[in-house]
Chains A and B, each alone.
Chain A
Amino acid sequence: MSDDQRPSLNFDEIRELVRIASEADITELEVEAGHLRVAIRKAPRGSAPPPTPVNPPAATSTPPAATSTPGAPAPEAHSPHWVPVTAPMVGTFYRAPGPDQPPFVQEGDRVEAGQTLCIIEAMKMFNEIPAEVSGRVVRVLAEDGAPVEYGQPLFLIDPQG
């Protein structure tokens, strides 16, 4: 439906990037596609809430991993090439294969493409969600045991990490 037939980003895709950027705990996101380059920079934290009118019942806790975690390597906050891993279905997000077991991955872990990152439980089925790219897990965005909607960003992976 776009007037612009060139192979670049369309309005909806840009809006989707803005959404990912706002929901993910990052301050800047740059994407290049064809001749077009989009850079999204957010106001310092403490400003806007996520744009969707979603009120998940479990989303009452504090925001996910704080941006200014001491010791977090500073350059990462500006990496444009991080790849989001999004929920392919509606369900409950689990970071570990079972209760009392260690999580599949932690922030800072190196993962290979195909490696399980988490489980989404839907319709009493446990669906293992694999990494699509190899790299380093730089952010875990969803909380263990929380309901996640379709397309919700769960992790950010730095393929160059």
Chain B
Amino acid sequence: MFRKVLVANRGEIAVRVIRACRELGIRTVAVYSEADRDSLHVRLADEAFCIGPPPASESYLNVPNILSTAELLGVDAIHPGYGFLSEDPRFAEICRDARIAFIGPPPEAIEAMGNKARAREIAQRAGVPVVPGSPGPVRNEREAYQIADRIGYPLLVKASAGGGGRGMRVVHNREDLARALQAAQREAEAAFGSGELYLEKYLEEPRHVEVQVLADSRGNAIHLGDRECSIQRRHQKLLEEAPAPGLSPRLRAQLYRAALRLVRTIGYVNAGTVEFLVDRQDNFYFLEMNTRIQVEHPVTEAITGLDLVAEQIRIAAGERLRFSQREVEFRGHALECRINAEDPARDFRPSPGRVVSFVPPGGPGVRVDTHVYAGYTIPPYYDSLVAKVVAWGRDRTEAIARMERALREFEITGIRTTLPLHRAILDNAFFRRGEVYTNFVQRRVDLGQLGRWSS
């Protein structure tokens, strides 16, 4: 097992990794930017080292400074968390060259899944259904029209290097295709440095369902069930649950089989998530694979009783999975609400600043992962996640009741947060019946009426 782990991240996930390390008896090194001197991960780690000025490009993405810190302080592994360097195959490779374990998959697997067009090709080869679309990147406009005529409208133009909805356009008819291609290409070039595009059939009211997998370096791979992540706003997940409500046992078994086929095909090692779109006829399509720990991993932990971050560390240290598929037990239902420092009354504009009071909820079945405390100043440089509230219940009804109770208890003043939006979603009759799809917030939540959920 490792003796000392460097946590190459910030915020709640850095705190989460430090906690797992401490329980495993591993010393921790926090790295931080000048804007995060007072952050909780800096306080909790055994050692902390400043690695740069506030902009992430000069600190949390500063590979030379992170690696120098790792070498100077003698760490034997780096946990990248999510975001930042977690899905950068070059970083994973540099770690390998420096003989420091990267707590994540091998660089080849990150690379294979990182390029969306290539990931699609690999999924198809593995016999995993993909959304009908171009077999690979589209080379020119003429080819785009041919493929579009074959798959039909509406369709999606997507960037190969994309994510988070950037470089993506919905095209409703043939006349709009050329313009959408140009716009998506410009956006993708600006955001990702690559204007490579592909086309996909646009599914109406699909659900976003994903499968958590764990694979060790000895060829053992298991799934830890599914999660529903349909509640999103502008392609950013807001509320997740496990298991996905109302999936038929047959569909569930198909999803697990497909996810594990992909894992074996690419020789995946460590924790990962295979994302699918599910339509109203129970057809499912591979969306992408996230080759890292995910924000919403605690809902899976809540229903399995496992510590996914600890398992990641054990796998990276070369250990064999400690349980077989049959030994994984699923119990109850869990929800996670992502509380962001955003102002729902002003189009979810970021709301950084000093947190005056911070009273997180507690009690039976409630877990809060956060790096925030009263008096902490949320810097404007990074993502707006303030806290993840996770509620577990014996069934979905109890989990929802607990989450409602927890959100009512949660007191945050000094900044604006998305708490009112979550209260509105939990109270929504469609949500309570489990009728969710990726444009749920857009269709079912009146964002102009969130004022009544403010306290």
Contact = CB atoms under 8 A, between A and B. Distances in A.
Interface in A109-132: 122-123
A123 B64 contact: yes
Which of A1, A53, A91 is the most central at the interface, judged by chain B CB atoms within 10 Å of its CB?
A53
25 contacts: A52-B42, A52-B48, A53-B43, A53-B48, A54-B47, A54-B50, A55-B46, A55-B48, A57-B47, A90-B49, A90-B66, A90-B69, A91-B68, A91-B72, A92-B72, A122-B64, A123-B67, A149-B49, A149-B51, A150-B34, A150-B50, A150-B51, A150-B59, A151-B50, A152-B50
Contacts of B72: 90-92, 147
Nearest to B65: A90
Interface string B38-66: 00001101111111110000010000111
Interface of B: 34-35, 37, 42-43, 45-53, 59, 64-69, 72-74, 352-353, 380
A56 B46 CA distance: 10
Interface of A: 1, 12, 16, 19, 52-57, 89-92, 122-123, 147, 149-152
The A interface is mostly helix, strand or loop, or mixed, namely loop
Contacts of A12: 35
A20 B147 CA distance: 62
Which of B43, B73, B380 is the most central at the interface, judged by chain A CB atoms within 10 Å of its CB?
B73
Given A52-B48, A54-B48, A92-B72, A151 B34 contact: yes
A90 B68 contact: yes
A18 to B, nearest CB: 11
Contacts of B53: 150-151
A84 to B, nearest CB: 14
A88 to B, nearest CB: 9
Nearest to B33: A150
B34 A1 contact: no
Which of B72, B352, B353 is the most central at the interface, judged by chain A CB atoms within 10 Å of its CB?
B72
A56 B47 contact: yes
Contacts of B37: 19, 52
Contact of A89 (B35, B46, B65): B65
Contacts of B49: 54, 56, 90, 147, 149-150
Given A52-B37, A122-B64, A150-B65, A90 B42 contact: no
B380 A1 contact: yes
A150 to B, nearest CB: 5
Contacts of A122: 64-65, 68
Contacts of A19: 37
